[in-house]
Structures are given as C-alpha cells and as structure tokens.
C-alpha cells in the first residue's frame, strides 16, 4: 500500500527470540558493511526515551513520629501499626534547582477511615543518583514540614482538633498535588473536597479550603449535606495540579469523570486565580485513553502547555497505560478536547547502561515504570523528565511479587538516537495476542512497546451501533460472558455467513453492557500463560483503539497505524447494523480519514471494500484465504473463489478498488505433504506487477502454527523458530506480515 501510506522505515529491534520473553531491547546502529563502507541497514534519528539516573527509598523506611498504619490493610508480609511515620511514596514533587526536591506523600493508606494516624507532610529530599558512572542510587530525606491548622482556619472537626499544633492527618485531607508559589508558600490539590489548600512555607494553613465552583463535592467532603448527591466520584479529585509560569494561575485536573457525565473518558481541567482567590470561567476537557484511566500529575512546560500523567490502575506485567502526554490549552480538537501528544510511554524506556538492573520486573535493558500509581512528572531544568511513584504502602508489588515497591525516582533523557530500519511492515495481529488476550488495549500496548508498525482490530457492532474490537461477534470464547448469570438469557443460535453458531453475540448487547464484561484468552490450550490476564481488561471500542494508536509513537518515531478488519459485513448489513458508515465516521472523527493517514481497512468480502473505496481515501486491502470464497460472492451467486482472486486477472480487478492484499501465508508459500514449506507461488510477483502490496497472515511462534522444519518438538504449544519462517517469506518478497508475536517479527527482519 506504498502509494497511499508511508510504510515503516525504521524501528528499534524487539528482543525475545522465539523462546524468549516479550521484552524489547535497544540495539546500536549497525556497523558498516565490510568492503564498501555503507551501512548494512539504513538508520534514522528518533526520540528514544532513555533512563539516565535512578534513586530509590526503601518501602519500609520510617520517619520520626507516632506509629502509623494501625488500620492499614495488611499486604506483602507487612502488618501495621508501624513504629513511626510511613513514607508511602510521593504523589507530587517540586524541583528546587539545587539537587533537592520537595516531595509530598498523599493521605497515607488510601481512605479517611484508615489514615487518622498518618501525618500530612512535605519532605525535602536529595537523591544520590545511580547513573552510568555509578552512584548510591538512594533517596535521602533531609527534613520535612508538617501540614497543620495551627491558626484554626478550618470550620469542621479534624482528628487533632484539641491540640495546639492541630497537625493534619490523612483522615482530614487527601493531599495529592502541589505547586510552590513565588513567595515560598504551597498550593495543594486534594481529593476529599476536592479542595485547593494554601499553606505557608512552614506548612501552616493560611486560608479556608477552596471548593469546586458550582458546589460540586465528593462523598468524603465535610460540607456534604444529608441527602446531597456527590457530583465528584470517590477519590477522583485533584490528583494533578499545575501552576502558570507567572505563578498567578493554578490548573487543577480532576482525576476522573464527574458522576453525572455520560462521557466516562472526560477529565475536567479548571483555572484558579490565586490573586482573586476564585476560579475563573475557563475550563477544558481532556479525553483519557479509556474510561478507567486517571490523570496522575500535571506540570507546566510553558504558557498554556502542560504535561499530564495518564495511568491505569494495573501494575507489573498487567500494566497498559503509564504515559506522559503534552497538552496545549490553546488547541482544541473537533470533539472539544484539548489536543494531546505522547511525550513518554513509561512502559518503553531504554536502559543501555543497565541502571537499576536486577531490581525486579522492568529493570533490564528494557526499562519501565509499571507501578500502579505513577503519579509524578517533573521536567527538570535541563529538559529531562523525572518520574516517580506513590507505592501505596504496603500494597503495591509491581517490581517483585510479594515485596512492597520501593519509592523510586527515574530521570529520563529524551534526546534523539540513531536506530536501524527496515521496509517490511509488521502488523500486530489483534495486538500482541501471543502475550496478552487478543483485542484488548493491553495487547495493543504490548505490541506498540514491541515495535509493531500497525495494530489490528477486528470490528463488529453492538446493539446500539458502536464498533468494538472482537475477533468474532460471538464472544463466549473471548470474554467471560458465559459466567455472567445476568446475561444467560442472551444465549442464542444464529446463522453467520452460512454457518450455524451458538453463543452470545455483540449485536445483542449495548456498549454499556458489553463494557461490564472482561476479556479472556481465546486459545488457552496453546497459550496458557495468557490466562493469567483473564478477567482484567474491557472490550475496547474502535474509537479507543484508534485513539491509542494516534496518541502513540512507533519505535521509528512515526504514528502507530491502525489496520481494522470489517467482520461479516454482509451479515451485519442484513440486521441493520452496517459496519461501513460508522467505521468511516470514526476515522473522520479521529482525523485519520485521508490518503496519508496510517490506516488500512481490510475485509474478506469484496462488495464492502468497493463501497468503502467510494467513501474514504484511506488504503484498502483485500483479504485472501487459502480456501473458500468471499461470503458476499455466495450471497450474490458469484461462483468465483479466493483462488480466482489471486490470478493475474483477479489481482488486476482488486487493484481497481484496493491498494494491497492480505494473503494467508499458505497461498504465498504452499506446504508440502509432510508439512514443510514448498516453493513460493507467483502471487507476490503478480500482485507487485499490478501495484498491490502483499501482507501475509498469520505468523505465530507456537509449533502448531509453524511449518514442520521450524517446529521445536511435537508439543503443539511448544515454541518454535518463528524468526526462521519469517525470513523465508521475506526472502520471497513479502511486503509485510501479521504476527501474534511482533517482537519476534521485528527481530527477524532487521
């Protein structure tokens, strides 16, 4: 599809040869080829986030003060009370410019009811960084200030009501974000109100808490009247707070959606004028990648430009979203949201110097911050980013299962690096479905970290006409619907493309109902490791998949492409849920509907591709199976088969409405009677002659899917030599491939 979209040009090579894990590592630019001085592979310079410094504070570190955590939930072998004040990570930080930082924990142990013995503080810390040259890699705490209401500003009871110091606790406020004013005072965003709190440089509250405009409150708000409906969801207040460069304005960001907002992906950004002590009438809407994600921190880069942390609540290898986006408050997209662009995917960080190596999951050559509460981003004065975590002590164990996570600061360099390239397109088949349940944002994000060029969603329709990503419209094999008694009566038997199918079907569920289900592994006998992720992830909409792609960056610095397949278009037409119109509408709404967009739409049917050719300028691909015929041919009484479509005449016809073909790999290289690869067919050469690109499907690493000579054993689930198979097909002239294992595919074509 070379004449309508730019094919992949460069990529950082993914690791994990066929028997290895799915981690990605960086490889230096290739050495010059012997004899001619030319590079073995072309290279380009792209931004490659790289870990350059790291420091940690032991999860079990205690600071002076009364015992804390008496009511904290026991976890990871730790049970309170603890003999001092726990430091449960940091939710916000301020760079002092002298090697020290103000670092603020939250309310302690997660709720009002269990945090009355946790004192709210702001710690002055000095990291002794570990770098490529060595270093202690430890966070030193120099002193702290205690937040207090010694002046008696508050007009509601607090835990230490009767004391002179009136020290504030985690049962009084949930402090989550902080900005330092030019006079040294601190503005703090908190969640129980949610409130903005103003403390002097020594931690004493200066004014009454500033409430949200319009009287919006959370369930924990001390002013909530009996019978009043909270508009702010529990623990979804001001997790993020940024300050203007002038210091006059604050920009608090709600962590989640309002309870009455039908758009669960919307997060409101407000503006507060510290000079007048009031909110202005300016607000903005930010759209999260998915409705469960939260905004974890904010940092001002320059006028109107902020960095936002967006994260999910998963940790370790379950993590999907741990990202830093840049937003510009002066730029609003067609849907009314601030435009956002990816600055850092914290699940894909290079670590060539092995800083922190051996410190648990995600600390090798491929570094990540896979913690549940990624809640700190600071742009340092040299342009690098400092990121850090709230470890929710003692609950989080992202790095080492069963061991509480340390508090950590990681410094990330965003300079451009030279990386090797390839002209072969790698399409993540249903995401990195060899490592995560297919058609989940987890599978798509894993594919992106493994350097895929495109992610592929199969699209089907819900009862209310929303396109979602599922392999089939029958979903008992890919979701937990069969275990949901409330949907037992939805089981049905239908005829889909001439085949009788029994189960549960997307067209019988609204999107809201479908979102209550969770994905499961479709091939548990072949991929038992993937069952560990069963029950975690929602069914994503096509809109969410496109958003993830267009807000991501490939290893070659280009937008991630989307390769949607329309499933059973004739069937969906027959029940009044046509796929083509909503598909084109989604592409348009996301601004990826022109000829240069990194989008390829594919189908096993012909008529709907011809229809789409008149509806959109994006590239189209005709899918070809090794047997049978397009179902719309069957409906129309057309006797031609897929074999007829790959003749020179058939390919010439395809070239009239499509830009490429997606061919079952046995059509490209048939197998011999003994299961080994035979001689290549003329399909690639014939297709190229008509101007069509050829992408092959599907390349998988398990023995059951491999030619006999590339199998490792007789075990169908055993891991064979997928890279070896791929190299044979690339040698035959294949332009791209669909793979369940993008990391192996990328490594094979370098």
* Whether residue 8 has pLDDT greater than 60: no
First and final C-alpha spacing in the chain: 21
Distance CA(125)–CA(104), nearest Å, equals 10
Q: Which structure tokens are listed for 284?
A: 């903005």
CA distances (Å), origin 283, targets 230, 337, 514: 20, 11, 32
* Whether residue 198 has pLDDT greater than 80: yes
- pLDDT confidence of residue 422: 82
| Angle between the N-to-C axes of helices 542-550 and 441-449, in degrees from 0 to 180, rounded to the nearest 10 | 20
Tell me how crowded residue 683 is: count the other CB atoms within 10 A of its CB.
22
Calculate mean pLDDT across residues 62-66: 98
Calculate mean pLDDT across residues 553-576: 95
Helix (H) or strand (E) run with residue 696 in it = strand 693-699
Distance CA(349)–CA(322), nearest Å, equals 11
Calculate mean pLDDT across residues 324-342: 95
CA distances (Å), origin 126, targets 52, 54, 96, 103, 143: 17, 12, 10, 10, 10
Q: Which residues contact 517 (CB under 8 A, 6 or more apart)?
A: 475, 479, 480, 481, 484, 538, 539
Interval 11-58: pLDDT, tens: 322 323 222 333 332 222 323 233 333 334 566 678 899 999 999 999
DSSP 345: E
DSSP codes joined into one string, 295-337: EEEEEEEETTEEEEEEE-S--GGG---EEEEEEEEEEE-TTSP
Interval 472-500: pLDDT, tens: 999 999 999 999 999 999 999 999 999 99
Quick check: helix, strand or coil at residue 506?
helix
Calculate mean pLDDT across residues 569-591: 97
Calculate mean pLDDT across residues 360-382: 97
Calculate mean pLDDT across residues 330-350: 95
CA distances (Å), origin 335, targets 586, 590, 627: 12, 9, 43
Interval 696-742: pLDDT, tens: 999 999 999 999 999 999 999 999 999 999 999 999 999 999 999 99
- pLDDT confidence of residue 44: 67
Chain centre to alpha carbon of residue 472: 23
Interval 635-671: pLDDT, tens: 999 999 999 999 999 999 999 999 999 999 999 999 9
* Whether residue 220 has pLDDT greater than 60: yes
491-495: long-range pairs with CB below 8 Å, 24+:
none
Distance CA(279)–CA(249), nearest Å, equals 9
- pLDDT confidence of residue 50: 97
Quick check: helix, strand or coil at residue 631?
helix
* Whether residue 528 has pLDDT greater than 50: yes
CA distances (Å), origin 551, targets 328, 413, 554, 559: 14, 20, 10, 8
Helix (H) or strand (E) run with residue 743 in it = helix 742-748
Distance CA(565)–CA(608), nearest Å, equals 11
Distance CA(734)–CA(712), nearest Å, equals 24
Distance CA(82)–CA(61), nearest Å, equals 10
Calculate mean pLDDT across residues 414-436: 90
* Whether residue 693 has pLDDT greater than 70: yes
Q: Which structure tokens are listed for 465?
A: 């006409």
Calculate mean pLDDT across residues 316-334: 96
Distance CA(159)–CA(652), nearest Å, equals 79
* Whether residue 521 has pLDDT greater than 80: yes
Residue ranges with strand state E in 172-221:
175-180, 186-190, 195-199, 210-211
Share of the chain above pLDDT 70, in %: 94
- Residue 598's nearest CA partner among 619, 584, 616 is 619
Chain mean pLDDT for the chain: 93
Structure-model confidence comparison of residues 204 and 9, the more confident one = 204
Calculate mean pLDDT across residues 340-352: 96
Interval 126-157: pLDDT, tens: 999 999 999 999 999 999 999 999 999 999 99
- pLDDT confidence of residue 459: 98
């Amino acid at each position: 599809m070379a004449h309508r979209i730019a094919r992949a040009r460069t990529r950082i090579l993914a690791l994990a040869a066929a028997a290895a894990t799915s981690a990605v590592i960086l490889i230096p630019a290739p050495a010059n080829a012997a004899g001619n001085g030319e590079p073995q592979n072309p290279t380009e310079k792209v931004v490659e986030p790289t870990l350059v410094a790291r420091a940690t504070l032991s999860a079990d570190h205690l600071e002076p003060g009364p015992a804390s955590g008496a009511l904290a939930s026991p976890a990871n072998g730790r049970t309170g009370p603890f003999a001092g004040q726990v430091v449960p990570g940091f939710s916000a930080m301020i760079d002092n410019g002298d090697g020290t930082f103000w670092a603020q924990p939250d309310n302690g142990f997660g709720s009002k009811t269990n945090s009355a013995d946790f004192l709210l503080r702001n710690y002055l810390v000095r990291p002794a960084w570990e770098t490529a040259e060595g270093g202690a890699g430890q966070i030193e705490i120099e002193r702290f200030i205690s937040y207090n209401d010694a002046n008696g500003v508050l007009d509601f009871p607090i835990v230490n009501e009767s004391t002179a110091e009136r020290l504030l606790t985690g049962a009084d406020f949930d402090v989550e974000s902080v900005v330092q004013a030019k006079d040294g005072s601190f503005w703090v965003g908190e969640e129980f109100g949610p409130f903005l709190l103003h403390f002097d440089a020594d931690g004493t509250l200066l004014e009454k808490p500033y409430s949200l405009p319009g009287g919006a409150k959370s369930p924990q708000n001390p002013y909530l009247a009996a019978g009043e409906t909270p508009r702010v969801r529990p623990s979804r207040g001001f997790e993020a707070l940024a300050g203007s460069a002038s210091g006059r304005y604050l920009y608090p960001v709600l962590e989640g959606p309002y309870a009455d907002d039908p758009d669960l992906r919307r997060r409101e950004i407000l503006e507060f004028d510290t000079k007048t002590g009031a909110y202005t009438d300016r607000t903005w809407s930010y759209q999260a990648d998915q409705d469960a994600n939260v905004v974890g921190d904010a940092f001002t880069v320059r006028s109107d430009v902020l960095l936002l942390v967006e994260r999910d609540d998963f940790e370790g290898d379950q993590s999907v979203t741990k990202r830093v986006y840049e937003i510009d408050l002066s730029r609003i997209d067609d849907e009314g949201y601030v435009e956002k662009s990816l600055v850092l995917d914290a699940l894909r960080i290079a670590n060539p110097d092995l800083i922190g190596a051996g410190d648990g999951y995600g600390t090798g050559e491929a570094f990540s911050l896979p913690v549940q509460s990624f809640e700190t981003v600071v742009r340092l004065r040299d342009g690098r980013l400092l990121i850090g975590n709230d470890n929710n002590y003692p609950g989080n164990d992202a790095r080492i299962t069963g061991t509480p996570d340390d508090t950590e600061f990681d410094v990330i360099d965003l300079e451009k690096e030279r990386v090797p390239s390839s002209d072969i397109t790698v399409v993540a088949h249903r995401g990195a479905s060899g490592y995560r349940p297919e058609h989940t944002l987890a599978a798509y994000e894993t594919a992106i970290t493994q350097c895929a060029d495109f992610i592929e969603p199969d699209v089907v329709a819900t009862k209310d006409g929303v396109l979602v990503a599922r392999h089939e419209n029958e979903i008992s094999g890919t979701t937990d619907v069969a275990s949901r008694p409330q949907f037992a009566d939805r089981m049905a038997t239908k005829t889909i493309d001439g085949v009788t199918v029994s189960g549960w079907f997307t067209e019988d569920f609204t999107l809201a109902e479908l979102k209550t289900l969770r994905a499961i592994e479709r091939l548990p006998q072949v991929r038992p490791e993937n069952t560990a992720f069963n029950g975690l992830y929602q069914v994503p909409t096509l809109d969410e998949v496109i958003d993830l792609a267009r807000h991501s960056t490939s290893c070659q610095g280009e937008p991630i492409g989307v390769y949607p397949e329309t499933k059973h278009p004739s069937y969906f037409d027959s029940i009044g849920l046509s796929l083509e119109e909503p598909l084109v509408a989604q592409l348009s709404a996301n601004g990826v509907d022109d000829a240069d967009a990194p989008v390829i739409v594919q189908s096993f049917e012909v008529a709907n591709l011809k229809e789409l050719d008149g509806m959109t300028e994006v590239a189209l691909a005709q899918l070809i199976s090794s047997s049978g015929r397009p179902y719309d041919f069957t409906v129309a009484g057309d006797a031609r088969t897929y074999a007829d479509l790959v003749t020179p005449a058939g390919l010439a016809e395809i070239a009239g409405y499509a830009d490429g073909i997606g061919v079952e790999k046995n059509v490209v290289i048939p197998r011999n009677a003994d299961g080994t690869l035979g001689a290549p067919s003329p399909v690639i050469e014939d297709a190229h002659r008509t101007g069509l690109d050829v992408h092959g499907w599907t390349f998988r690493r398990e023995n059951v899917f491999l030619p006999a000579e590339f199998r490792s054993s007789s075990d169908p689930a055993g891991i064979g030599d997928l890279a070896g198979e791929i190299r044979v097909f690339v040698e035959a002239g294949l332009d791209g491939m669909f793979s369940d294992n993008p990391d192996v595919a990328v490594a094979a074509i370098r």
